[in-house]
Amino acid sequence: MSFKATKYQKIAAGFILLGCLILISFSVNDSNKEDYSRNLKNKGVNKTLEGTPLMFKYGKATCVKVAYKIDSKELFFINSNRYKFHFGFCEKVGGWTKGIDLFNELTYHENANQPYILANLNYFESIDKYVLEFTTLNQISKKQISFLYHQVAANSFFGEELLLLKNCESINVLASSDKSVNYIGSTDLFLGQKFQPVNKTKSYGFLRKIATKDLKNETLNQFDILLTDGSPIETPSVSGLITGELQSPLSHLVLLGINRKIPICAFTNAWDDPAIDQYLNKPVQLTVE
């Protein structure tokens, strides 16, 4: 990629150097003609259905939505590029006609009128694992969680290598009794990960490199983009932030990015990367995507 000098040099937050442009981005497959598949017989099928998760809580991942229709005993692997939410698929393809409020009321806990069991199937490239994730708001039974796990495993090329994310109390309880399921904790998803988008947007400013311990002695403003080695508790009013530490889903930096509407990312190699150092104290555009 060629580099053209402009008023602002561009940094697309990440770790791959292309010419003079630092670029990290997540590729999103174009929408496929298929709404769903009954199985994932190989990686190719998974690729045609996968999109990006609604939230990048655990770093770089792709997502295929999963729905099990209880009355007809049908399993659907949903095209996540065509359907941002499970409800859209269940309404258009699954035949649900009673609106979103009743859908939410009946779906997320076990009851006689429950229409679906829903989950997300995430692929984490950094650890090369497929992980089934239930929303933390889900109150379905341990039996249904285990049932859907085995349904997905039985109809996928990775089989029993599938992992179940321990992200709520009911799954933690299940883990103590059901050994037929393979589990993974949220902290294990960070293994091998180098880049994490914390808040996806873009901004402009002068790139400043300051160690976290020295921030209290420095003066920064809304025209600065801060590169630091840690996770500052008190963050100055800057226009963007690159931290050297990966963040948990409940990190204060996640809320900071949302509240201030500024780009924030974690990049473990950023502090010592000479490709980034060449832009220090220069006007840049920071894009986290």
Structural domains of the chain, with CATH:
9-26+194-287 (3.50.30), 36-190 (no CATH)
Q: How far apart are CA 206 and CA 238, in angstroms?
A: 10
Q: How far apart are CA 182 and CA 85, in angstroms?
A: 26
Q: How far apart are CA 95 and CA 75, in angstroms?
A: 14
Q: pLDDT tens digits, residue range 94-135? A: 999 999 999 999 999 999 999 999 999 999 887 899 999 998
pLDDT of 198 reads 87
Q: Please give the single-letter amino acid code of residue 53.
A: P
As given in the structure block, the two tokens for residue 196 are 């994490």
As given in the structure block, the two tokens for residue 6 are 């402009």
Residue 44 has pLDDT above 60, yes or no: yes
Those residues whose C-beta lies under 8 Å from the C-beta of residue 25, and which sit 6 or more positions away, are: 12, 14, 289
Q: By mean pLDDT, which of 46-55, 74-83, 261-270 is the weakest? A: 46-55
Q: pLDDT tens digits, residue range 51-81? A: 888 766 666 789 999 999 999 999 999 999 9
Residue 153 has pLDDT above 70, yes or no: yes
Between 136 and 120, the higher pLDDT residue? 120
pTM over 0.75? The answer is: no
CA distances from 85 to 34, 88, 100, 154 (A): 16, 6, 11, 24
Q: 174-182 long-range contacts, Cβ below 8 Å, gap at least 24? A: 174/142, 174/145, 174/146, 177/142, 178/142, 178/146, 180/146, 180/150, 181/146, 181/149, 181/150
As given in the structure block, the two tokens for residue 14 are 């990440």
Q: 252 near 259, Cβ under 8 Å?
A: no
> Of 232, 176, 236, 240, whose CA–CA distance to 206 is shortest?
240
pLDDT of 27 reads 33
